[in-house]
Amino acid sequence: MPTEVKKKVSDFVNKCYSESIKRKGEVALMNEKKYLKWYDKVFYGMGDLASNCFSVVIGSFVMVYMTTEMGMDSGIIGTLMLITKLLDGVSDVFFGNLIDRTHTKMGKARPWMFWSTFPLGILLVLSFMIPNVGTVAQYAYFMIIYILFNAVCYTANNIAYSTLPALITKNTEERVQLGTIRYVFAFIAVMVVSGSVMQIAGAVGWQATAIGFAIFAVIVNTLSCLLVKELPEEAMAAEREAAEKEKAESAGLLETFQLLIKNKFYLCILGIYICFYTGTGLLGGLGAYYTQYSLGNVNLMAQFSIANNMPTILGLFFVPVIVKKFGIYRTNLTGMSLSVLVGIPLIWAGLTGNITILVVCLALRCMCSAPLMGTLGAVIAQIAAYVHKKENVHIEGSMYSCSSMGIKLGGGIGSAACGWLLKLVGFNGTLEVQSAATNMGISIAYCVIPVVLFAVIALFCKGLNVEKAIGELD
């Protein structure tokens, strides 16, 4: 998302769906027992609304605060962010294991989701309260707060939240619906927060802004956690037994690693995730600088936020119909190719300051890339099925790890690149007006680099004809 916004949802949703079709058939899927009411699904979705309030505020705006308010070096900040993201990836495994071993009256995941939200709110506020001490101490302060926020509290909260669908219902269709609802709430949060923070901060200051969003996110996350109930552990016994049976047929660590690095499809998916979330990190991190300095109107952030998010939500409604008619491979390749073509007028509009065409092109690019976002999980499931058919081993969990790894690496690179690029173009946060060369450098970074990354993604999509590869094994 920014930071971790678009993660998990599509992957988890499509995995559940593909596995259900494979094992039970469509008729059995429709006849499964229902566990959730409509409001239970809404309560669950609220959790991602809160989660993305936390992540977008700190992921997209803490660098703006530190460079413009505190006058700190963007290059150093970017490097520290990248280091933190690498630590974040290691903590995923640690907290996943802790949740598996948790047994309380609240359940397995909900305790972690509940107790992590309060320190998240505190750390969000502290991120925008850097003390006026020595420069080295300021960077150390930021590093400690950022690590505690991302690698500890946010990871614990988000992994627990991502685990909940498997613990609150055994109905595959309901798990699919939970993923869809979560996706909608996530995009709403990204859109609203990205479009409003700069205006609010300009009116009441960074600290008051952080406090306001922190209180809102803590309240919403707490309500989501308390209103959603996990099933009794004995009700999940059959699923655990099936999982253990499948685990016995899984490949070992070394064998899995060898299978992955030799699998061109896995490498393509990993490349897609890294490029996509690097671009997302750049757009989220540089948006405030581009609108405020290059365009001279920070209020444009609201329009850009809508253009970068709403079309994706709308586009997802049409994805199932398009995929049914043309298939996943043709849909994704065509969509990403069109998104690259749209990038040509987008670059022109962005560099010349034509706001109308720029907003239209941003919206069209998001609309064209929506099928990829909606089908990546299904593609990963196809690749896992291909490996199982070819090698007779299960590596589903390892296949899905590429999404987490790609998001962590891409988000880290994107955040770091924002700082490095600002340093490269000579940005000085203590100046109200930047030089013409600096403004042009920011414009190029915001408008051109994401288009290049989308072109690389399109090339990766060209190598993802998994359906054909599976057919050749028959």
Q: How confident is the model at residue 371 (pLDDT cuts 50, 70, 90)?
A: confident
* Structural domains for the chain: 1-241 (1.20.1250.20), 249-474 (1.20.1250.20)
CA 134 – CA 132 distance, rounded (Å)? 7
Residue 320 has which token pair?
A: 């199932």
pLDDT at position 23, please? 44
On whether the CB atoms of residues 291 and 304 are closer than 8 A, the answer is yes
395 SS3 class:
coil
Question: Mean pLDDT throughout 429-444?
Answer: 92
pLDDT at position 12, please? 42
Indicate the range of 63-72, 142-151, 190-199, 375-384 predicted with least confidence. Answer: 375-384
Question: Mean pLDDT throughout 70-98?
Answer: 81
pLDDT at position 1, please? 43
pLDDT at 206 over 50: yes
Percent of the chain residues past pLDDT 90, beyond the cut: 40
On whether the CB atoms of residues 370 and 312 are closer than 8 A, the answer is yes
Taking residue 370's Cβ as centre, other Cβ atoms within 10 Å add up to 22
In degrees, rounded to 5, the angle at the alpha carbon of residue 183 between the alpha carbons of residues 220 and 100 is 70
Question: Mean pLDDT throughout 346-368?
Answer: 94
Residue 444 has which token pair?
A: 């190029």
Summarize pLDDT for 317-353 with one digit per residue, the tens: 787 788 888 888 899 999 999 999 999 999 999 999 9
Half-sphere exposure of 55 (CA within 13 A, CB side): 31
Q: How confident is the model at residue 109 (pLDDT cuts 50, 70, 90)?
A: confident
pLDDT at position 209, please? 96
Indicate the range of 94-98, 324-328, 448-452 predicted with least confidence. Answer: 94-98
- What length is written for the chain? 474
Summarize pLDDT for 52-66 with one digit per residue, the tens: 999 899 988 999 999
Summarize pLDDT for 380-410 with one digit per residue, the tens: 778 877 877 887 776 655 665 566 677 778 8
pLDDT at 250 over 60: no
Summarize pLDDT for 173-191 with one digit per residue, the tens: 677 677 778 878 888 898 8
pLDDT at position 187, please? 82
65 DSSP 8-state letter: I
Q: How confident is the model at residue 5 (pLDDT cuts 50, 70, 90)?
A: very low
Distances (CA, A) of 105 to 225, 230, 231: 13, 10, 11
Query: Which runs of consecutive H residues, i.e. helices, occur in 31-171?
Result: 38-64, 74-100, 110-127, 135-147, 155-163, 165-168
Average pLDDT, the chain: 82
On whether the CB atoms of residues 339 and 394 are closer than 8 A, the answer is no
CA 187 – CA 426 distance, rounded (Å)? 33
Of residues 370 and 240, more confidently modeled:
370
Question: Mean pLDDT throughout 119-148?
Answer: 94
Q: How confident is the model at residue 118 (pLDDT cuts 50, 70, 90)?
A: very high
CA quadruple 70, 71, 76, 82: dihedral sign: positive
Question: Mean pLDDT throughout 153-172?
Answer: 81
Query: Which runs of consecutive H residues, i.e. helices, occur in 128-236?
Result: 135-147, 155-163, 165-168, 172-204, 206-227
Percent of the chain residues past pLDDT 70, beyond the cut: 82
